Amino acid sequence: MFAIIGILLVFGAVIGGFLMEKGHLAVLIQPAEFLIIVGSALGTLLIANPLHTLKSILGGVVSVFGKTRYGKQRYVSTLKMMFELLNKIRRAGMLSIEMDIEKPEESEIFKQYPDFIADPHMRDFVCDTMRMAVTGGVEAFDLDQMMDLDLEVRHRCSHQPVSALATAADSLPGLGIVAAVLGVVITMGALGGPPEEIGHKVAAALVGTFLGILLCYGLVGPIGSYMSKVAEDEHAFLYAMRVLMISFIKGNAPVQAVEIARRAIPLQVRPSFDEVEKACRGDQAHESAAERQVA
């Protein structure tokens, strides 16, 4: 939502200021200049990047216009889910979650959290780590190193489309100059004609430079910056889960592991102690009542 408002504000301010100075809006509508700049920029993306990076760029651009996946509520629900999973281990042993992590889509715990099932990075990170813990024989330090390596690889991969889009954004002013030079070439060929025609061609050439700079700093660059922040948000989210799992594997109780993970959450989305306790303890109280009824 804010991305759409920002884009409208950028283009609205530029066009509004142009109109305030008695400029003619029709002069800015130059399809040929737009084709040269945008088409060339897309071509550079195709030349410089493999297919998987192009798909990631497309997905990242689409995500700019949606809401963040890693808000406070997502953290609370995920901490609650992990609390339930770790409590199951505490009650029935590590082997009790084998089916949960082997087939998370069929798990009674995970099925209650569709965001977890729909997020392959998060799902694989948790299930693969707990699978190693279930098999045994892996020290907590080695498991922590394994998760750290996984996070590093994911972080590097998530920044590849950001870097590719930033490179394309940097090329836009240069491509704008290319369009302007072509416009000057056309203008030189029209010398001797009516002054109005020459003036129109010069204006069209200058619009090329204008479009290249505007698209770079007003649209593509900010989109790349937002994608970078999304990648950082995902890294912070997975890092909190890493802290939680390694804390439990080292011997801390589920409630302690959850609290340690809460402290690893970025401040702007960190839930309070009471919010997490209410979410986790509510389910724990419900489970205790159910166990007493069975007894």
Write the pLDDT tens digit of every residue in 91-105. Answer: 998 889 999 999 999
SS3 content of the chain, % helix, strand, coil (to 5): 85, 0, 15
93: left (phi over 0), alpha (psi -120 to 50) or beta: left
Residue type, 32: A
pLDDT at residue 66 tops 90: no
Question: How many whole angstroms separate alpha carbon 44 and alpha carbon 83?
Answer: 47
Residue 205 has a pLDDT of 86
pLDDT tens track for 2-11: 888 999 999 9
Question: How many whole angstroms separate alpha carbon 244 and alpha carbon 247?
Answer: 5
Q: Give the confidence band of 285 by pLDDT, cuts at 50, 70, 90.
A: very low
Inter-residue contact 184 to 177 (CB < 8 Å): no
pTM of the complete model = 0.84
Q: Give the confidence band of 283 by pLDDT, cuts at 50, 70, 90.
A: low
Here the tokens at position 209 are 């430079």
Inter-residue contact 266 to 236 (CB < 8 Å): yes
Here the tokens at position 258 are 């959850």
Single out the residue of 210, 216, 213 nearest to residue 30, CA to CA: 210
pLDDT tens track for 31-62: 889 999 999 999 999 999 999 999 999 988 88
Residue, of 23 and 215, whose pLDDT is higher: 215
Question: How many whole angstroms separate alpha carbon 56 and alpha carbon 52?
Answer: 6
Question: How many whole angstroms separate alpha carbon 50 and alpha carbon 244?
Answer: 35
Inter-residue contact 198 to 237 (CB < 8 Å): no
Residue 288 has a pLDDT of 45
Inter-residue contact 207 to 229 (CB < 8 Å): no
Residue 221 has a pLDDT of 93
Single out the residue of 205, 161, 183, 207 nearest to residue 54, CA to CA: 161
Q: Give the confidence band of 183 by pLDDT, cuts at 50, 70, 90.
A: confident
For the chain, the domains span: 32-178+214-294
